Amino acid sequence: MSSDRIRLSVAAAREHSERALRGIGYDEEEARIIGDHVIDAALCGYEYSGLAKILNIPGHRRFKRPRSRFKLLRETEVSALFDGGNNVGMLAMYHATRAAIEKAASRGIAVIGVTNSWMSGRSAYYVEMIAKADLVGIHTAASARSVAPFGGARPALGTNPIAFGMPSSHGPIVFDMGTSAFMGTDLAYRERLGQLLPEGVAVDAEGQPTRDPGLARLGALLPFGGYKGFGLAFIVQAFGVLDAAARTGLAVPADLSVIGFDDIELAAAIGLTTVRQPLRESGRLGARLLLRLLDGEETSSSHEAPASLPALEIVVRRTVAPPAT
């Protein structure tokens, strides 16, 4: 270990992180929530998303804007849309995940959308919360432009992560990935430490490959997996556009940037009870729901996801017990 590194116990790391967060304006409960998030990341081996991430909060362009309370905008028995109040996403998404768990546990299905927040942190943190509640979760988050399309040189999409979590007899199973070849938080971390990027993950402002994180910030990250990664990132961003449209009441315009394509942090959840329909019928139901969502219609059944919200985080309740034979 390098001599310039400092070892902290978990208790000491928690104390330092919460004190730092209170020092920049967060109350005790907010500091506890954010602190737990970054300490969990550090314990999972992600230094760039650990305590160092706290430095990114006051440095974010939205940090100095006024904050308001996490606010419910609309709700049904199985869905809710929240305004994050320009709060850091690690707070907004924590409360959204709690809402998703509560609804899915009681109704078997929940769709939760969040907009007007920023920097939601590790998606794995939220789907692990869901898995620990004996549910299955899928979470996506659209974010600010920093990733070039496949074959492009200018940023058009966010790093737009996708995460899955489910319970098992050996603890939560979690998969969390960004749709960019390199994560934006790690880019900021390497820029702060003066470390080079790996080959092939970024271009500069002229579209030339670069390993310099400062030049990459002026240029763009690249999508992982070529056009397939770009396709996943595009769909996650499209969910963000739908969520912003639902919040503002706007129809989705031709120019996606006018409803927040550039800066959305969000998530939602769908919980599904055991499906007893034949697979073909379930597919037909899914197709009808998708068409109704695209057409802007309201769904009437309490077992269908409401058309006004994007399905961004899926929570499935485990079967309680098989029927007796």
Distances (CA, A) of 257 to 143, 149, 237, 239, 314: 12, 16, 11, 13, 26
The predicted structure's pLDDT at residue 86: 93
Kindly give, in sequence order, each residue whose CB lies less than 8 Å from that of residue 209, ignoring residues fewer than 6 positions away: 199, 200, 202, 203
**Strands 162-166 and 173-177, sheet pairing:** antiparallel
Tokens (6 digits) for 259: 């409803």
Per residue in 47-73, pLDDT (tens digit) is 888 888 999 999 999 999 999 999 999
| Average confidence score pLDDT of the chain | 77
User: For the sheet containing 79-88, what is the strand order?
Assistant: 71-76, 79-88, 111-118
The predicted structure's pLDDT at residue 34: 97
Per residue in 138-154, pLDDT (tens digit) is 898 888 888 998 888 88
Residues with pLDDT less than 70, the chain? 1-3, 241-325
| 3 state SS of 34 | helix
Q: Provide the residue type at 241 as one letter.
A: V
d(CA 193, CA 299): 51
Judge contact between 88 and 118, C-beta under 8 A: yes
Judge contact between 79 and 310, C-beta under 8 A: no
The predicted structure's pLDDT at residue 242: 65
Q: Which residue has the tokens 């579209």?
A: 207
